[in-house]
Structure 1
Amino acid sequence: MSEESKVELSGDSLSLADLVHIVESSDIASIKKTVSEIVNVINDPESSAKQLKDIIELDPPLSAKLLRLANSAFYGYTKRITSIQEAIVCIGFDAVKDLALSQKVSQLFDKYDKIRDYSRDLLWKHSVAVALFCKLLYRREYRELGENSYVAGLLHDLGLIVEDQFIPILFSYILEKSEARGTSLYQSEKEVLGFDHTEIGGAILAGWDLPDELVTAIASHHDPLRVGGDFAKLALSLHVSNYAVQKAGIGYSDMPRIDLPLFDQCRRQLNELAGSKINETALGLILEEVEKSISVMESTGWFSHGR
């Protein structure tokens, strides 16, 4: 089925496997190779900056977008950057890695239709904010790099894009149902489809050669307490980041229909796992930095011209 095709089936006749099969031959799958290669480079302690450079340079449109943003006021580098190698030297490996991931993932959000309070533009802003928040949570509270924290934020709502693109009538009905009843979006998805956007995203990304920790976090970010072992921290952190960004109203928000008691449980469990003290003050400081970053990104064309 072509990318333009739409699946308009009743909730009873649509399966999760149907959607995954359709996505595998769509434009959504086109980012799979580059995203998985970048993620695997940043998760490999033996990898080099040259490997990242080589991946980016094989994708000329990505290289062009990255260089344009590397030269923006957001990074504040006065000398003009003219190559990926120079970008890595001037603004750093970490910044180039995040830029490459965000600009590749942003291709999924190239649709400007609005459905009720939802649009891909708003969802993109929300996703970037969650990525920034989750990364800062790892750096500030856990004193860890959190290699998968940023991309987890970028991709956590992939399932919503799939619903929007391939089952728009059902998706509109789900949004309407959620708003009318004051329930969370994922609860309405469960009632209509039998599964939700976290399950869609997890099922798709399971075939992308990504770390299990990352796929698990995305597949469970509305039910992170079920995740145990080494994968628990990222799943809990992604939920906390998503909640904080939604509460602040950055981009698309499902507030006030998200679960406050669950958020508090996740925060307490993270403090036990990481030996951290994640309280309202700590989260507020992270949010303040995220809001500043989003504001500068908006003023330098990140959201209006970066895709």
Structure 2
Amino acid sequence: MKLLYEETLGGLSIQRCYGLDGSVVVPERINGLPVKELAGYVLSETVRGRDKPPAEFAGEPEIKGGQVEELVLPVSLERVGAYGFYNCYGLRTMAFHSTTLDWGAGVFTGCTGIKRLDIRVHEGSRSCLKEILTELRQTLVVDYRDEQGRMLAKLIFPEYFEESVENTPARIITREMHGCGHMYRYCFEETRFKVGEYDRLFRQVQIQESEALAVRLALYRLFWPWGLSGDAGNVYWEYVKNHVKAAAMGLLEREETEILFWLARERRMDEMALEEMVTAAAQMEDAQSAAALMDTKYRRFGAAKAVKRSFEL
């Protein structure tokens, strides 16, 4: 990947990106100078009046719009210009630091394909997570890490959308909110994420969201229990125990076998729960996982007891 950049006060501003790869990894420094900014429309699908690239970039395809699939931003980045990722509908994941605070207007317009965010949170400073979550209304999986990159939690923020409903006789238009995702986006005190508020909203997920999403959210909170209180943990465990087959099928589908076998070894999973997990693996035609789960079941509970049968002639 090649970058067209300009020198600004105290650092560099990336103007455009060139290359064939859909993964855009913005470096922290170029020629010893920190990358401070991504210019407006830097990865936009179309920009009217954009100048032709310099001669040294002639023949290089520009990385933009639907071509962008992954975006990795450096810790040095302070600002993203207006409509920076406009209509990057192919963008699926974005990794960034909480200290990038200046996000221009319409940065994420058209970025409907984003499914995963990976954020490193720098304690003691403001965070941009709330702002970004508010801009993206689809279901998001957020890898929440500390400053060194250690995983603290994997969080699911459900989708939400607003609908305008017209009351024609009264000539009144009301707005109706669908989905509980907007409530999850309020789990902040100023810009600081409040994990306790997040956990308290699980009752809403059980009511408004699918079984698959709810059990996935619960499993992630139990597997990465950062900030998890005992009461909230009990609520999550109760839900997982009552939906263990759906939990196992989701883990197998996403190939999250580490969580699957952790769950199988957990003391809260009884013999019947293990049997449901084996059945789920069989239904998913995953013979290897089914065999491993049967082995775990045998190690924990022993061989199945033979059933005595009598016959009369």
Superposition TM-score, scaled by structure 1 size: 0.28
Structure in which a larger fraction of residues adopt strand: 2
Structure in which a larger fraction of residues adopt helix: 1
User: Could you say which structure has the greater relative contact order, defined with CA pairs below 8 angstroms and 6 or more residues apart?
Assistant: 1
Of structures 1 and 2, the larger Rg is shown by 2
